[in-house]
A and B are shown apart, each in its own frame.
Chain A
């Protein structure tokens, strides 16, 4: 059988268990795809030796009939996850050469479940960006193109390498992280599925921190079923992350019945932004009609503080980042600047951080420093945290009124060209996350599902937002939407 790399996690799992294929065959197929994918710049540190060792071990387990959920399935890992002995740089120069002495809990969980790691994936530096253009490795490239136009498009960000790799069938699935939309926006830009679980569902231990009260890891996959399988393997309580929830992880896959009869789906009026492209409006209306046809009850809802989510985010996230990124000082790990005669420790900090951080990261660290500084803490930081409480209350009220899930567009547009936003002010780039960032501020689960194409042949996605800890129900609604939309298009291979 050829093209094993094109399989979904579920199909590959079934073939492995039926002994139709081996994990080594599957892994070799993916490694060959990695070799050919240079132009996409998705994989930035390849680990073929680790992959083949893990694949052989998986085959041995499969032969013994001891096959856990992800046994023998090759995946890619976002560069934000610390992986023992393998470069883990958060796509930053300041972590050049850093080789973790430990494994992140999420990757350890995936390995315990039998996963095979093909390598590390490109991303925006420290997960700060929406186009994968802030990476020290250079841009990741979207496998999708506008018709016959060979202009390179962004795969979105910050999990751009993960999205590009899964959409291009280089790996079966990938890990992502999402602080303001970094799983869901790239998933939408590349026609794949991405879920950000409830805050606390996946351990943050060993994941390079950006904004700790918002960061969550999640899977990026080719189908909703795959998202259910992989999320279950990633999730779970971890004593090493004090915000990790002490809750049992359900069997998410078993909850995929596709039956959503009687479910209440909310359509928030505040998400109908001025100047929203007609294609996005239609996508949203079509998705609403699909859920209705599947038996759901559609209700109009209001989330009145939506407009203030992005400004609140751009206080809270940089504030937390300025604190988290204080650790990069050239003392304990990573880059240290070459010093001039007579330079003391302050010069070392300042030069190291100036050389090690890219433009966007420096700006966010400094904005965060400003909003936390004496005299501005109340006016900016505390006000933003109050607004955040109101944003969460908006969702609490809607769920208390019986709404099961909320349907919105995932992004305000399809993927844009790399470099197209270079001259735009930073706020314009931030608007990419206008539909996703509310979910992080409220700590809720959100999933992006591909449901249509724009007139140029690029994929578009819808977002479903669920109740806290009810990822199973959310995945089932997403499954019904996926079935109804029947999105099966793939990018044609040019790389």
Chain B
């Protein structure tokens, strides 16, 4: 499996990270080095082995579905790059 420039661009887009056109070949090359390393996993016989979901044998705990926190609008917004009138402000989303 080899990653080309177009695949690298597609992955960058999926990850929402802007990568300049001229940086794509080097990025694709780095991906290929790492994926080449990962390819070793194909040597392992995993027939009948369940993918691990939890490393300790525990069930996720349930809790009562009630409001346990809230009324902290000022704290929630305190670190926002742009907060206005009690909301997070972002550039226009819909044309």
Contact = CB atoms under 8 A, between A and B. Distances in A.
Contact of A344 (B14, B55, B93): B93
A43 to B, nearest CB: 23
Interface in B1-55: 3, 8, 11-12, 14-19, 27, 30-31, 33-35, 37-44, 46, 49-55
B11 A245 contact: no
A388 to B, nearest CB: 5
A245 B57 CA distance: 10
16 contacts: A98-B79, A99-B78, A199-B56, A311-B39, A314-B37, A315-B41, A326-B16, A331-B88, A334-B79, A347-B91, A350-B16, A363-B30, A366-B15, A366-B17, A369-B15, A390-B49
Contacts of B80: 331-333
B79 to A, nearest CB: 4
Contact of B16 (A312, A346, A367, A380): A346
Interface stretch (A162-170, A290-298, A335-343): A335-343
Contacts of A251: none
A337 B50 CA distance: 43
Given A200-B58, A385-B51, A350 B17 contact: yes
A345 B37 contact: no
Give the dominant DSSP class at B's interface: loop
A329 B16 CA distance: 9
Interface string A249-289: 00000000000000000000000000000000000000000
Given A213-B54, A329-B16, A425-B33, 16 more contacts: A98-B79, A101-B78, A242-B60, A308-B40, A308-B43, A310-B37, A315-B38, A332-B88, A351-B18, A354-B19, A365-B17, A380-B41, A383-B42, A386-B46, A386-B51, A392-B55
B71 interface: no
A348 interface: yes
Contacts of B27: 363, 366
B90 interface: yes
A244 to B, nearest CB: 9
Interface of A: 97-99, 101, 198-200, 213, 239, 242-243, 245, 305, 307-308, 310-312, 314-315, 322, 326, 329-336, 339, 343-351, 353-354, 357, 362-363, 365-367, 369-371, 373, 380, 382-390, 392, 425-427, 430, 441-443, 468
A332 B75 CA distance: 11
Nearest to A213: B55
A468 B54 CA distance: 14
B84 interface: no
Contact of B46 (A383, A427, A441): A383
B82 interface: yes
Nearest to B42: A383
A314 B30 CA distance: 13
B16 A353 contact: yes
Interface residues of B, number: 50
Given A331-B80, A346-B16, A386-B51, A245 B40 contact: no
Could you tell me the dominant secondary structure of chain A's interface residues? Answer: helix
A382 B50 CA distance: 9
B81 interface: yes
A310 B40 CA distance: 10
A382 B42 CA distance: 12
A385 B17 contact: no
Contacts of A326: 16
Interface string B52-84: 111110101101000000001001101111100
B71 to A, nearest CB: 13
Contact of B82 (A99, A334, A336, A363): A336
A191 B12 CA distance: 40
Contact of B49 (A99, A311, A386, A468): A386
B44 A390 contact: yes
Contacts of A380: 38, 41
Report which residue of B15, B30, B44, B80 has the largest number of chain A beta carbons within 10 angstroms of its beta carbon.
B15
Contacts of A385: 51-53
A389 B49 contact: yes
B56 A200 contact: yes
B44 A308 contact: yes
Contacts of A312: 41
Given A101-B75, A308-B41, A389 B52 contact: yes
Contacts of A425: 30, 33
Contacts of B75: 101
A245 B56 contact: yes
Contacts of B34: 314, 363, 367, 426-427
A320 B81 CA distance: 26
A311 B41 CA distance: 7
B90 A345 contact: yes
Contacts of B49: 386, 389-390
B58 A322 contact: no
A289 to B, nearest CB: 33
B91 A339 contact: yes
A335 B51 contact: no
Contacts of A242: 60-61
Given A308-B41, A339-B91, A370-B11, A392 B17 contact: no
